[in-house]
Chain A
Amino acid sequence: EAQVTQNPRYLITVTGKKLTVTCSQNMNHEYMSWYRQDPGLGLRQIYYSMNVEVTDKGDVPEGYKVSRKEKRNFPLILESPSPNQTSLYFCASSKRAWQPQHFGDGTRLSIL
Chain B
Amino acid sequence: KNEVEQSPQNLTAQEGEFITINCSYSVGISALHWLQQHPGGGIVSLFMLSSGKKKHGRLIATINIQEKHSSLHITASHPRDSAVYICAASSNFGNEKLTFGTGTRLTIIP
Contacts and interface: CB of A to CB of B under 8 A. Distances in A.
B98 A105 contact: no
B97 A42 contact: no
Interface string A39-56: 011111100101000001
B7 interface: no
B102 A41 contact: yes
A98 B30 contact: yes
Contacts, number: 67
B96 A96 contact: yes
A44 B97 CA distance: 10
B66 interface: no
A40 B91 CA distance: 23
A103 B43 contact: yes
Contacts of B42: 103, 105-106
A88 interface: yes
A50 B48 CA distance: 18
A33 B98 contact: yes
Contacts of B86: 42-43
A55 to B, nearest CB: 11
A103 B44 contact: yes
A56 B100 contact: no
B107 interface: no
Interface string A98-110: 1111110110000
Interface of B: 30-31, 33, 35, 41-45, 48, 50, 86, 88, 90-91, 95-103
Interface of A: 31, 33, 35, 40-45, 48, 50, 56, 58-59, 88, 90, 92, 96-103, 105-106
